[in-house]
Amino acid sequence: MSIRVLLVDDQELVRAGFRMILDAESDVEIVAEAGDGLEALEAADRHTIDVALMDIRMPNLDGIEATRRLLQRSPETRVLMLTTFDLNEYVYEALRAGASGFLLKDVPPEQLAAGIRVVAQGEALLAPSITQRLIQEFAAAAPVAATPPKGLDELTARELEVFQLVARGLSNAEIAAELIVSETTVKTHVARVLMKLGLRDRVQAVVLAYESGIAVPGRTSSTSPGT
């Protein structure tokens, strides 16, 4: 079954370029296009969308607010933010809105299709540089919640440990190596953490961990974020 994609960008040439690339992929189908956030919401009402490729800066309704409203209407849809900058001031707000990751607009064709497949499967797509910046700067500026997040007390000691490692940006393989367990075991732990905390994906886990004070910028080991 094809991954149903919504293209959202105010530049027609950008949409045309993405369409040309994705039309060559047998497992990807572009079901609609939109030139701004309002058009995107209208398109999402008419079509079932698996992945929305969403520009951040657009007229009428920007990509961040459009993402927030889209996911309220269709929680199963994944949003992949498009940006011309690897890191910008919108990263943190986009993640809080529910975006599952970021792609640069000049991304190589094979990485565009691969990114869509990753988020369609429910995974997060965060470049190590973005995860690191999120931890060091955006999350550091976030207010720490006064009360622990709902479901935190349901986590086992090992699940809490996995939660903290996810917040540091480690991949499943790196977490497995650190805890000396199989990658399959890590995937199970991550799934349980997300379920118990009511989170959509790893991106939301990273944001929640820093907002709630479960993880604190600067208090990490020397292990680098996942690649």
CA distance 22 to 43: 18
Per-residue pLDDT, 125: 74
Side-chain-side CA neighbours of residue 199 (13 Å): 28
pLDDT tens by residue, 124-165: 776 655 665 665 665 566 566 667 788 999 999 999 999 989
pLDDT (mean) for 93-116: 86
What proportion of the chain, given as a percentage, has pLDDT over 90?
51
Question: The whole model's pTM is what?
Answer: 0.72
pLDDT tens by residue, 46-103: 999 999 999 998 999 999 999 999 999 998 999 999 887 655 567 778 888 889 888 8
pLDDT (mean) for 24-38: 96
Residue 112's CB is within 10 A of a number of other CB atoms, namely: 22
Residue 220's CB is within 10 A of a number of other CB atoms, namely: 19
